[in-house]
């Protein structure tokens, strides 16, 4: 039978070094919060339960945890008394005796499921505690793994380490796994007799060994272990995350004309033969199907782009957008909460919000769905095979029947029957010779004639 696993995500840190009113783990890279990245990695490593430890007044952190993992249980760490103290905030979950316990920091967003699975297999192989180690380019501030052969003897915090311990090659990434059956006994023995009077999770190694239990170290690449404490580290992690995502997209066969200019989100999904031109930004929840082309300077979030669709240049697709096969959304067109069916086109300068655009409709330049009356949002339905003349305002709620034709410059406030022509504008009048008279008066230094004249 598969082993059960509890993941405990520590997210009660204050993050003072971010110099921000926002809790540290809610800062984002690759379009989603640090916490969301960690919860995703945890979910992908086969956990059966997730606990998130939050600090007092961290309702936003708890809300984000529930958004990403609706089954996650949040535990409150009332006082910030160290990493082991934080883990014990989730005592009730530990007491359910999972086979494995993964302890992951909420500020380590680039951790990969594969690394977490390596830790779990060390526990399955009989270790009571296993930790992830890495070779740091700059080891300042990290605890050091003290090894004897393959055995992990201790983790020494940099501040408490002597020179030879500090020179130890592997740094502590902070991510740890424990065997469920001995975890509580080990955690309860951790004390706070150190310089900061904190309960250090890292003491678990020596305690386990004192109990004749085994501890193991697993080496992973540095990127996995990037801990975020400052805005600079946040930016560096963003760069690393984007590199990984672009690499994966290229490997999956997406054409990125200038990869370094395309900004992806951790959950962006591409079909086959998709082309992304330079300078395109993807937010959360975007799917792009086979053969679609995203032209330069487009911004896309929460949108489904169907087969063979063409988007941009300079298009903005907002959440709730669904573009059917072969649809075309051209320059300076914004689409929000709208379905654009197969073959429909809005090629220039439009706003399509809270709308349905039927198959093969042609939405002319400058068409606006007036979806908001200052109080509430209303829907616009544009039928199949319709022709919306340029610069029309469709005042919602309104329905344009299939095959109807809207004259340019119309303000449409009433439903239009199928196959009808609607002209929603004042009639044009021509005044013969009026301009000639104007120019004559100007030369004499007189006033402009009234248009009634």
Is 449 one of the binding residues for Ca ion (CB under 5 A)?
no
Those residues with Cβ within 8 angstroms of residue 80's Cβ, 6 or more apart along the chain or in another chain: 12, 13, 14, 55, 86
Among 6, 30, 38, 82, binds ligand UD1 (CB under 6 A): 82
**348 belongs to the catalytic site:** yes
Which residues are within 8 A (CB) of 163 and not within 5 positions of it... i.e. 6 or more apart? none
Binding pattern to ligand UD1, positions 53-72, x when CB under 6 A? x-------------------
Q: Where are the alpha helices (DSSP H) in 264-377?
A: none
Q: Residue 404 CA to chain centroid, in angstroms?
A: 40
Please report how close the Cβ of residue 77 comes to ligand UD1 at its closest, in angstroms.
5
CB closer to Ca ion out of 135 and 448: 135
Out of 13, 326, 330, 366, point to the residue binding ligand UD1 (CB under 6 A): 13
Q: Write out 400-435 in H/E/C secondary structure.
A: ECCCCEECCCCEECCCECCCCEECCCCCCCCCCCHH
Question: By three-state DSSP, how is residue 38 classified?
Answer: helix
Based on the shown chain and the rule CB under 5 A, indicate whether residue 158 belongs to the binding site for Ca ion.
no
Say how many residues touch ligand UD1, by CB under 6 A. 27
SS3 content of the chain, % helix, strand, coil (to 5): 25, 30, 45
**What residues from 122 to 161 belong to the interface with ligand UD1 (CB under 6 A)?**
142-143, 155, 157
Quick one: how far is CA 387 from the chain centroid?
A: 37
Q: Which residue, 227 or 407, has its beta carbon nearer to Ca ion? A: 227
The catalytically annotated residue of 37, 348, 378, 450 is 348
Q: Which of 3, 66, 81, 189 binds ligand UD1 (CB under 6 A)?
A: 81
Does position 166 interact with ligand UD1 (CB under 6 A)? The reply is no
Residues 6+ apart with CB under 8 A from 352: 333, 334, 335, 336, 338, 340, 346, 363, 367, 369, 380
Structure tokens at 399: 């329905």
CB of 10 to ligand UD1, least distance (A): 4
Q: Measured from the CB atom, is 227 or 397 closer to Ca ion?
A: 227
205 binds, among ligand UD1, Ca ion, none (CB under 5 to 8 A by kind): none
| Residues that bind Ca ion in the complex, under the rule CB under 5 A | 227
| Residues that bind ligand UD1 in the complex, under the rule CB under 6 A | 10-13, 53, 77, 80-83, 85-86, 105-107, 142-143, 155, 157, 171-174, 200-202, 227
Active-site residue numbers?
A: 348
């Amino acid at each position: 039978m598969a082993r059960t696993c509890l993941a405990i995500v520590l997210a009660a840190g204050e993050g003072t070094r971010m110099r921000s009113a926002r809790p540290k783990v809610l800062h984002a890279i690759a379009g989603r919060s640090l916490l969301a990245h960690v919860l995703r990695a945890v979910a992908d490593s086969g956990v059966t339960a997730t606990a998130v430890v939050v600090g007092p007044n961290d309702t936003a952190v708890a809300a984000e945890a529930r958004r990403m993992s609706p089954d996650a249980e949040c535990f409150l760490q009332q006082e910030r008394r160290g990493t082991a103290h934080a883990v014990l905030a989730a005592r009730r979950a530990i007491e359910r005796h999972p086979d494995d316990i993964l302890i992951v920091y909420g500020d380590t967003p680039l951790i990969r499921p594969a690394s977490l699975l390596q830790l779990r297999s060390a526990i399955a192989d009989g270790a009571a505690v296993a930790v992830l180690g890495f070779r740091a380019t700059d080891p300042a501030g990290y605890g050091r793994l003290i090894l004897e052969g393959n055995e992990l003897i201790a983790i020494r915090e940099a501040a408490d380490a002597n020179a030879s311990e500090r020179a130890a090659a592997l740094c502590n990434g902070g991510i740890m796994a424990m065997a469920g059956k001995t975890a509580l006994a080990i955690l309860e023995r951790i004390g706070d007799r150190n310089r900061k009077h904190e309960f250090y999770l890292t003491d678990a190694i020596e305690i386990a060994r004192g109990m004749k239990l085994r501890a193991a170290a697993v080496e992973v690449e540095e990127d996995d272990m990037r801990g975020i404490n400052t805005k600079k580290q946040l930016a560096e992690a963003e760069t690393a995350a984007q590199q990984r995502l672009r690499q994966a997209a290229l490997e999956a066969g997406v054409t990125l004309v200038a990869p370094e200019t395309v900004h992806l989100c951790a959950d962006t999904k591409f079909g086959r033969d998709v082309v992304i031109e330079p300078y395109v930004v993807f937010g959360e929840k975007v799917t792009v199907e086979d053969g679609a082309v995203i032209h330069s300077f487009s911004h896309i979030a929460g949108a489904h782009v169907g087969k063979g669709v063409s988007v941009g240049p300079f298009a903005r697709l907002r959440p709730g957008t669904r573009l059917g096969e072969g649809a075309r959304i051209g320059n300076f067109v914004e689409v929000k909460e709208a379905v654009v069916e197969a073959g429909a086109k809005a090629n220039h300068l439009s706003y399509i919000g809270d709308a349905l655009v039927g198959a093969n409709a042609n939405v002319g330049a400058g068409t606006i769905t007036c979806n908001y009356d200052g109080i509430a949002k209303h829907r616009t339905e544009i039928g199949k095979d319709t022709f919306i003349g340029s610069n029309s305002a469709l005042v919602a709620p309104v329905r344009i029947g299939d095959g109807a034709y809207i004259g340019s410059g119309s303000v449409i406030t009433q439903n239009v029957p199928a196959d009808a022509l609607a002209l929603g504008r004042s009639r044009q009048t021509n005044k013969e010779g009026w301009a000639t008279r104007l120019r004559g008066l100007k030369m004499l230094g007189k006033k402009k004639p009234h248009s009634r004249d």
